[in-house]
């Protein structure tokens, strides 16, 4: 075990997830609402002495400033960016820095945990579906509105499809169920099509590595081998911390 713990932070649009790791085990993982980022200060009050801090932030400059105000002055946080290659993953984007740093960390985490070809899915405010080849090359990915965004879009842009409760059904017979079932089928379809596209390049059947707050909504409806990881971005950030 190394002296001091590693603190990793995944600042997303809805939640700020964080965890501390002692070099052998996770000591704690938790989250606060991004809109209440100041609560992170109290959450971190019991954290052990730190030897490194690694942060992924896609929530903007204001959230970055709030996190900086909360963190201790040392060690200085490392704010990750997507690069051409890191931790055994190569970035296939034409302009690597355009890839969201949370997606980059998730790819790195999945590569370390499972290896082999995989479809890396984060089900949050948006759904990201990224294809990772067996040799560690990120070949590309999709971004889809999450289920709640789809439902709110319909509610905001139609007269008769207001936001209402609904559940999944193969043959929906209420408007609420029709909207929810449509959203879930759209998300599952995007994931399964990406898996098929990746397999058609000659890869063996890819696994689906699924993470995010919406994972439980989608996982039962996927016709794939699914590996659910509660905080995949944190796993990737930890991998980056160890490399550094």
Residues 136 and 207 grouped into a single domain: yes
Q: Residue 85 has what pLDDT?
A: 98
Is-catalytic flag, 102? Answer: yes
Residues 102 and 47 grouped into a single domain: no
Q: What does the pLDDT look like over 163-219, one tens digit per residue?
A: 899 999 999 999 999 999 999 999 999 999 999 999 999 999 999 999 999 999 999
Q: Quote the mean pLDDT of the chain.
A: 94
pTM, to two decimals: 0.93
Q: Is a pLDDT exceeding 70 seen at residue 2? A: no
- 59 belongs to a structural domain: yes
- 190 belongs to a structural domain: yes
Residue 186 structural domain = 90-147+176-232
Q: Is a pLDDT exceeding 90 seen at residue 136? A: yes
Residues 51 and 98 grouped into a single domain: no
Residues 143 and 54 grouped into a single domain: no
Catalytic entry in 10, 33, 94, 102: 102
Quote the number of domains for the chain: 2
Q: Is a pLDDT exceeding 50 seen at residue 1? A: no
Find the CATH number of the domain harbouring 34. Answer: 3.30.420.40
Residues 113 and 196 grouped into a single domain: yes
Q: Residue 166 has what pLDDT?
A: 95
pLDDT class of 46 with cuts at 50, 70, 90: confident
- 239 belongs to a structural domain: no
- 155 belongs to a structural domain: no
Residues 131 and 70 grouped into a single domain: no
Q: Is a pLDDT exceeding 70 seen at residue 91? A: yes
- 171 belongs to a structural domain: no
Residues 74 and 105 grouped into a single domain: no
Domain boundary residue, one of 79, 98, 133? 79
Residues 22 and 141 grouped into a single domain: no
Q: What does the pLDDT look like over 145-157, one tens digit per residue?
A: 999 999 999 999 9
Question: What's the whole-number mean pLDDT along residues 214-239?
Answer: 96
DSSP secondary structure string for all residues of the chain: --SSEEEEEEE-SSEEEEEEE-SSSEEEEEEEEGGGTTHHHHHTTTPPPEEEEEEEE-S-HHHHHHHHHHS-SSSPPEE----SEETTEEE-SSSGGGS-HHHHHHHHHHHHHH-SSEEEEEESSEEEEEEE-TTSEEEEEEEEE-HHHHHHHHHHH-SS---------SS--SHHHHHHHHHHHHHHHHHHHHHHHHHTTTPPPPEEEEESTTHHHHGGG--S-EEE-TTHHHHHHHHHHHH-
- 242 belongs to a structural domain: no
Q: Residue 77 has what pLDDT?
A: 96
- 208 belongs to a structural domain: yes
């Amino acid at each position: 075990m190394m002296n001091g713990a590693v603190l990793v932070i995944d600042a997303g649009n809805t939640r700020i997830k964080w965890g501390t790791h002692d070099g052998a085990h996770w000591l704690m993982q938790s989250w606060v609402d991004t809109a209440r980022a100041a609560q992170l200060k109290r959450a971190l009050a019991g954290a052990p002495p730190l030897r490194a801090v690694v942060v992924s932030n896609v929530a903007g400059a204001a959230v970055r400033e709030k996190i900086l105000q909360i963190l201790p002055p040392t060690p200085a946080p490392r704010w990750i960016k997507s690069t051409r290659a890191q931790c055994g993953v190569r970035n296939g984007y034409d302009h690597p820095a355009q890839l969201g740093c949370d997606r980059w960390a998730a790819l790195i985490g999945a590569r370390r945990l499972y290896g082999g070809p995989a479809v890396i899915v984060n089900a949050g405010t948006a759904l990201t579906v990224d294809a990772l080849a067996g040799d560690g090359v990120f070949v590309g990915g999709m971004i889809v509105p999450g289920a709640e965004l789809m439902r709110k879009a319909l509610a905001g842009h139609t007269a008769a499809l207001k936001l209402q409760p609904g559940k999944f059904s193969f043959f929906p017979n209420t408007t609420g169920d029709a909207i929810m079932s449509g959203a879930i089928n759209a998300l599952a379809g995007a994931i399964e099509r990406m898996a098929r596209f990746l397999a058609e390049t000659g890869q063996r059947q890819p696994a689906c590595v699924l993470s995010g707050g919406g994972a439980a909504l989608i996982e039962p409806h996927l016709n794939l081998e699914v590996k659910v990881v509660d905080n995949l971005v944190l796993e990737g950030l930890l991998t980056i911390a160890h490399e550094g």
